[in-house]
Structure 1
Amino acid sequence: MNWPRSASRAAHINPSTAICRAVTEDAMQASQTQIDAFHSLSGAEKSAVKRKIIDVFGGDRSVTLTNDEIAARGKIGLSTVCGRVNEMVKDEILAERGTDRRPGRRCRQKLFGLPVEVAA
């Protein structure tokens, strides 16, 4: 079905559908299942993944990696890496350090690294 650009898809979803996500033109919202899965992770599980992500950099502040590279080197699922890296950037554990062209595509992807200390 072709959805009108200005209309919300949620208006076209059958209310008897057990699981549905309200999708609007502006943003996607997480389903209740996704929210529950996130909250079911213990702090120790999140910390273990964050530790793996930090270990991928080997303490070298000059190393910059994409989410794909972090996932491959750390043997962690990409969706897990994306969520944890975003948390770590917000908490200033990691820093956005530029962009890199995706192989075979026109779009760019963010590069992340350990924060660089700036001498005053």
Structure 2
Amino acid sequence: MSTMTYKGYSARIEFDADDEIFVGHIAGIQDRVGFHADTVADLKTAFHEAVDDYLDACIKVGKAPQKPYSGKVMFRVDPEVHRRAAMAAELAGKSLNQWAEEVLDRAAE
């Protein structure tokens, strides 16, 4: 599986061996937006068109387009993990938020 990015939206891409086409869906939004193509170049064009069509459709119906993510993450962890993370952040001279963002960014690559 691969990804593409355009105007802040990302899509996950898969190859459908039965139909011999690339299929993609915009990730990170609740609305279901898909696209497909036979070649990588056409897939990129189809993805851009899908994002643009999604944004245009939202304007036409008076709906704010969903943004992939707000940047706010809330989750619970074991208190010992919290303590160790806070200690690691302090030792690195960073806030827990700064430290966690860097760690999550590295892990997500």
Q: Which has the higher contact order (CA 8 A, sep 6+)?
A: 1
| TM > 0.5 | no
Quick check: which one's strand share is greater? 2
Quick check: which one's helix share is greater? 2
What TM-score bracket applies, with the shorter chain setting the length?
Answer: under 0.3
Normalized against structure 2, the TM-score is what? 0.23
Normalized against structure 1, the TM-score is what? 0.22
